[in-house]
Structure 1
């Protein structure tokens, strides 16, 4: 596999039209002309014949309307699929999306009129047969759609779509929504994943890192050092909590008590049992609070057993909820106990509503949460400190209100969809222009 990838890195041909002696040896293909037409207004020098001088072909400029094919593994709703939706519906670029089957992203995009190509074989777990089918399908899509840029999201799609793009001589950009090796950073599998990322970087024309933390990891492990890279923080749509309603009329919770909790998948990464341990310690200190956790996942049964074993009567496990706004509108303090993250959207959504944050220092959290101003960022694994910071916000109404206002202001000033999309568009233009320069100059 590594040999194949290395060979692909040599496939990109950089052609100097100035050095072509005659039309028998070189002709501009219609595909190249169409591709360049979407890049810029650039003079191309084409040979008319052996004895004739070069003629200049002018191609109109449409840099701001590059054709982009987004490829993402899972279409189930979550952080990366939301970013794909924002980039597909809030940008003037002509876009299409290829993704795995069965998720909310497909319906969301089709409702907005975005072309969606469902790749039935595209799935997260490794499967050589299904992966080969997916590679063939994505390669065919790139050839047929002729995008100016292939934008890859998530690990599996990042592998297959970058190969497909290189096979079609189309530039690719890979958004790192948290590196795939974070969960196994210090063991053998982490080493294997990093080695694979270094090889795939040779097929990559640009990296987008959603946090400075991811950017530092990419440089530290020599993945992004030789490839154009850009840190673009995630953004979320602005909305008002008062438009959503809350859960007080539905759940047996006391509105006079501070409500703490989270919206997260109940998985190893999100570590909900750590959040429940914080609740247990707060209860041991006789602090009045209610906790709600919205989300489902493989640790749901473990969480239920923990709640029952410790008699945590004020903790409510809601399971999956589609009404994120109502959940957030009910919370007074948002907790995040994840083991690793990229730049979590749910945290930004909580900030937009105006909720103070208490989170472990993982991923790009410190770049979003201003410690002592919009919330607290605690060293990962320090349950005592996490509990203390949470208790401080639960018991101090004035501090909670002050942090809430600062949280809302920070989110609406810094973490908006408009800002994010604008930065992506700028990077797209730079990458497509660089590809045009590569065609016009020899390697």
Structure 2
């Protein structure tokens, strides 16, 4: 079975990291390759499985069609950072006889441009299998693009379990996060909540266009010395060993990898109820879930975990158990391999109807 993993990503974010995790954990016996317009991203993803061919292709259907005719995959697996991404690759797949097309929605957003919405719906309605990274995300994509209930199935993003250094006791509780410094991640809300909670420090490992604003806000709130923004690194996951609590205050998410990484590290999680977060973080069982943009609720949750070491320990252990049970890269890769086998075992989907998952 020849599978071409396609990404429109031009930078390394959660969608691209998830694709790399999939490639690294994919079962043996598959003929896999990676393609996309971003040379750095394509080569980085392909390097996750040594020997994997990497193909850099110009955006648009014409270049993608030439690549598909040359590589001759059985399945095109399009990893979409947003629903309207990958249009050229999907159109080329539909013009390639016998090729099956699978798309994965990493972030369920709705375009506000009517022509783009119509094009997106037309392409998504012709897939052989349509996947989102969580049940909530699947339902949102169905509704946003009028695809019909049950047309998008769920496969949560998974990450590999890795060994981290042991955490050592600290004078103050460290509330940490891994993520881009941008408005979607809402680290301004975390800083405002932290200003109301004594005895904690905040560390956010990431980079982005909100750095200066967050640094100014930290100074304005009197958090100088209690907030660290060390930037991004290839070894960012090791920072989890410095945290006592993981916090993701996002305003929007698909199924964030960083939360699963934190759960595998045995950290209690405090996060907002957006996207697929509540599917991983079970409120009161594997973490605490609060409304987005609610500084009071987030501050209260941080006080609760600060004051109750037993709760932190219980949430962390339960979170790790839940992640190991179904949120690993191996579980994700097995699910996608089954989908690829499924679409090849049945006739190619008619290109003028909404696909339905096999019961």
TM-score of the two chains, using structure 1 as the length reference: 0.73
Mapped partners of 1:157, 1:211: distance in 2? 19
1:116 to 33, 36, 54: 54
**Equivalent residues of 1:75, 1:106 under 8 A apart:** no
Deviation at 1:428, TM superposition (A): 0.9
3-state DSSP of counterpart to 1:372? coil
1:385 to 291, 297, 300: 297
* Farther off after superposition, 258-267 or 153-162: 153-162
Deviations 1:369-423 (A, max 9, x none): 0110111111222221111011100121111111111111111112111211111
Deviations 1:41-60 (A, max 9, x none): xxxxxxxxxxxxxxxxxxxx
1:179 and 2:142 aligned: no
1:106 and 2:43 aligned: yes
- The verdict on how the C-alpha distance between 1:317 and 1:89 changes in structure 2, with shifts beyond 3 A counting, is closer
Flag structure 2 segments of 5+ consecutive residues without an equivalent: 351-359
Identify the residue that residue 77 of structure 2 maps to in structure 1: 151
3-state DSSP of counterpart to 1:208? strand
3-state DSSP of counterpart to 1:306? helix
1:77 and 2:15 aligned: no
Mapped partners of 2:145, 2:237: distance in 1? 40
Q: Which aligned pairs between 1:11-410 and structure 2 lie closer than 5 A?
A: 66-74=1-9, 76-91=11-26, 92=28, 93-103=30-40, 106-110=43-47, 112-119=50-57, 121=58, 131=59, 134-154=60-80, 155=82, 157-169=85-97, 170-181=99-110, 188-189=112-113, 194-225=117-148, 228-242=151-165, 255-282=170-197, 287-312=198-223, 313-410=225-322
Deviation at 1:303, TM superposition (A): 0.6
Mapped partners of 1:223, 1:97: distance in 2? 30
3-state DSSP of counterpart to 1:175? strand
RMSD: 2.2
Mapped partners of 1:322, 1:311: distance in 2? 31
**Equivalent residues of 2:109, 2:141 under 8 A apart:** no
Mapped partners of 2:121, 2:150: distance in 1? 11
3-state DSSP of counterpart to 1:233? coil
**Equivalent residues of 2:142, 2:149 under 8 A apart:** no
**Equivalent residues of 1:356, 1:400 under 8 A apart:** yes
Mapped partners of 2:201, 2:212: distance in 1? 20
Deviation at 1:192, TM superposition (A): 5.8
**Equivalent residues of 1:85, 1:105 under 8 A apart:** no
Mapped partners of 2:220, 2:178: distance in 1? 23
Question: How many residues get paired?
Answer: 343
- The verdict on how the C-alpha distance between 1:226 and 1:160 changes in structure 2, with shifts beyond 3 A counting, is farther
3-state DSSP of counterpart to 2:121? helix
Larger radius of gyration: 1
Mapped partners of 2:66, 2:130: distance in 1? 23
Deviation at 1:196, TM superposition (A): 3.5
* Farther off after superposition, 107-116 or 429-438: 429-438
3-state DSSP of counterpart to 1:77? coil
Deviation at 1:69, TM superposition (A): 0.8
Q: Which runs of 4+ in 1 moved over 6 A?
A: none
Mapped partners of 1:335, 1:239: distance in 2? 20
Mapped partners of 2:159, 2:305: distance in 1? 25
- The verdict on how the C-alpha distance between 1:223 and 1:428 changes in structure 2, with shifts beyond 3 A counting, is farther
**Equivalent residues of 1:197, 1:223 under 8 A apart:** no
- The verdict on how the C-alpha distance between 1:108 and 1:177 changes in structure 2, with shifts beyond 3 A counting, is closer
Deviations 1:125-158 (A, max 9, x none): xxxxxx4xx4322111111111111111124643
Deviations 1:198-240 (A, max 9, x none): 2222332210111111121133235432885321111110112
Mapped partners of 2:218, 2:145: distance in 1? 44
Flag structure 1 segments of 5+ consecutive residues without an equivalent: 1-65, 122-130, 249-253, 439-443
Mapped partners of 2:35, 2:262: distance in 1? 29
- The verdict on how the C-alpha distance between 1:302 and 1:172 changes in structure 2, with shifts beyond 3 A counting, is same
Mapped partners of 2:10, 2:243: distance in 1? 28
